[in-house]
């Protein structure tokens, strides 16, 4: 039996938590926020789309670009010292922008941060920073040190953010399907661009800011999925790993897939089992030869999206395990693999062509 819920009730059920934002430590009254950007999307972080008033106290800026957090600043400005002297940050006390290079950051306090598990708040006056640290804990650091820390943490934080966006996208899809109808939408270059379009054109009517954010995340994710065929390996509920026999759908963050030349999709609960099959296909599938394997896809550890297994990089011997124990942990780039390996005690990093039967079966020992 289907139970139907009215659009208004559905939105209340999905988004009743919106009042929480008013109590966030990062939030200030709108008339206290200094917005450096212009244009219809000026209130949104150009990297993630979040509202700059709600996340004002962690805002960083370079030129006219204003970001909700140091994380977003670093993601857009990846060079180690790029723009350091021109970067500005909001002083927690005065709520004015100050040169970041002269700020005193309190790092790791009990006050929640933005886009990170390790909060970072800046102060123009060291005495203010010390008083804040006395009340909330944390270490006082220079901008240069904090910048290096934030850049090193980017990949791991992006993994956390990707998981949160999955939940937001599900809410966004429900809102879009309920409130937005058959809207004809352009392609969007970012979450901020999608959000600006929704607000400016009232595509879904008048929503709360976090509702617009969820819909924008959904739309950009849907767009990305269309551009690559699928954003994530979709495993049928009853599909079993052809090597170990476990239900692969139970491990959606680890799944791997082989597509044969006739279009058959074969699923695995991890890279290790996929590689066992790939290296000896007729051991597990009597009728299949290596030449009949067309594509191999694995789940990128940080972004949880499907990537070409032949172009991926793999960390061996880390302290992160898969469904079958020791695992080959896949990444889109070698830099991300190196960051993960340093953080999780990896033994080595290998490319696809370096994965041998000895290496794969050695992970079981």
pLDDT digits (tens, 9 = 90+) for 170-210: 899 999 989 987 777 888 888 999 999 999 999 999 999 99
Which residues lie closer than 8 Å to 61 by C-beta, 6 or more apart? 36, 67, 87, 88, 89, 97
pLDDT for residue 19: 38
How many angstroms from the chain centroid is the CA of residue 299? Answer: 14
Extents of the domains making up the chain: 19-153, 158-228, 248-362
> Given this model, what pLDDT does residue 226 score?
54
Give me the pLDDT at residue 156, please: 82
Average pLDDT (19-32) is 75
- Please give the pLDDT value at position 184: 78
For the entire predicted model, the pTM comes to 0.62
Residue 27 has pLDDT above 50, yes or no: yes
Measured distance CA(220)–CA(228) in Å, rounded:
13
Q: Write the secondary structure of the chain as one string of H (helix), E (strand) and C (coil).
A: CCCCCCHHHHHHHHHHHHHHHHHCCCCCCHHHCCCCCCCCCCCECCCCCCECCCCHHHCEEECCEEECCHHHHHHHCCCCCCCHHHCEEEECCCCCEEEHHHCEEEECCCCCCCCCCCCEEEECCHHHHHHHHHHHCCEEECHHHHHHHHHHHHHHHHHHHHHHHHHHHHHHHHHHHHHCCCCCCCCCCCHHHHHHHHHHHCECECCCHHHHHHHHHHHHHHHHHHHHCCCCCCCCCCCECCCCCCEHHHCCCCCEEEEECCCCEEEECCHHHHHHHHHCHHHHCCCCCHHHEEEEEEECCCCCCEEEHHHCEEEECCCCCECCECCCEEECCHHHHHHHHHHCCCCEEEEHHHCCHHHHHHCCC
Task: Choose from 125-139, 154-168, 294-308 the range with maximum mean pLDDT.
Answer: 125-139
What is the Cα 228 distance to its own chain's centre?
17
At 82 the pLDDT is: 61
CA atoms within 13 A on the CB side of 67: 20
CB 322 within 8 A of CB 254: yes
In percent, the amount of the chain with pLDDT more than 90 equals 63
Find residue 315's DSSP bridge partners.
329, 349
Q: Which of 77-91, 103-117, 266-280 has the lowest mean pLDDT?
A: 77-91
Residue 140 above 90 pLDDT?
A: yes
At CA 159, angle to CA 75 and CA 218, rounded to 5? 85
Whether 118 and 112 have beta carbons less than 8 Å apart is answered as no
Q: What is the pLDDT of residues 281-297, one digit of tens each?
A: 988 887 888 888 888 99
127 pLDDT more than 80: yes
C-alpha to C-alpha distance for 327 and 256, rounded to whole angstroms:
12
Instruction: Check residue 154 and give its pLDDT.
Output: 86
Q: What is the pLDDT of residue 10?
A: 40
pLDDT band at 81 (very low <50, low <70, confident <90, very high): low
* Digit-coded pLDDT (tens) for 222-266: 876 554 445 688 898 889 999 999 999 999 889 999 998 888 899
pLDDT band at 16 (very low <50, low <70, confident <90, very high): very low
Decide if 294 contacts 259 (C-beta within 8 A). yes
Residues 57-81 have a mean pLDDT of 90
Residue range 146-168: mean pLDDT, rounded: 87
Q: Is the pLDDT of residue 158 over 90?
A: no
The answer on pLDDT for 160 being more than 70 is yes
pLDDT band at 31 (very low <50, low <70, confident <90, very high): very high
What integer pLDDT is reported at residue 225 of this predicted model? 58
pLDDT in the model for residue 142: 97
pLDDT tens sequence across 316-347? 999 999 999 999 999 988 988 998 999 899 99
21 pLDDT exceeds 50?
no
């Amino acid at each position: 039996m289907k139970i139907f819920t009215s659009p208004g009730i559905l939105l209340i059920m999905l988004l009743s938590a919106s009042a929480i934002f008013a109590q966030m430590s990062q939030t200030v009254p709108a008339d206290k926020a200094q917005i450096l950007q212009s244009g219809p999307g000026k209130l949104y972080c150009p990297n993630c789309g979040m509202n700059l008033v709600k996340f004002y106290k962690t805002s960083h800026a370079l030129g006219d670009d204003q970001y909700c957090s140091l994380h977003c600043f670093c993601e857009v400005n990846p060079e180690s010292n790029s723009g350091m002297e021109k970067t500005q940050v909001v002083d927690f006390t005065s709520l004015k922008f100050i040169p970041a290079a002269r700020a005193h950051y309190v790092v790791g306090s009990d006050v929640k941060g933005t886009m990170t598990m390790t909060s970072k708040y800046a102060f123009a006056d060291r005495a203010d920073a010390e008083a804040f640290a006395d009340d909330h804990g944390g270490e006082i650091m220079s901008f240069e040190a904090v910048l290096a820390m934030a850049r090193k943490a980017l990949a791991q934080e992006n993994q956390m953010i990707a998981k949160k966006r999955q939940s937001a996208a599900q809410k966004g899809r429900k809102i879009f399907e309920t409130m937005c109808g058959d809207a004809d939408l352009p392609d969007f270059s970012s979450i901020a661009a999608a959000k600006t379009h929704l607000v400016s054109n009232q595509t879904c009517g008048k929503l709360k800011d976090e509702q617009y954010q969820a819909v924008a995340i959904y739309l950009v994710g849907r767009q990305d999925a269309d551009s690559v065929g699928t954003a994530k390996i979709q495993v049928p509920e009853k599909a079993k790993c052809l090597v170990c026999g476990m239900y692969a759908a139970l491990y959606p963050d680890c799944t791997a897939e082989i597509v044969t030349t006739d279009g058959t999709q074969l699923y695995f609960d991890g890279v290790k089992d996929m590689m066992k099959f790939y290296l000896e296909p007729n051991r597990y599938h009597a009728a299949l030869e290596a030449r009949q394997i067309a594509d191999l896809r694995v789940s990128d550890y940080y972004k949880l999206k499907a990537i070409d297994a032949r172009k991926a990089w793999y960390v061996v011997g880390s302290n992160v395990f898969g469904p079958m124990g020791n695992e080959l942990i896949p990444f889109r780039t070698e830099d991300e693999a190196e960051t993960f390996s340093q953080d999780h005690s990896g033994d080595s990093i290998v490319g696809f062509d370096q994965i041998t039967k000895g290496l794969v079966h050695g992970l079981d020992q």
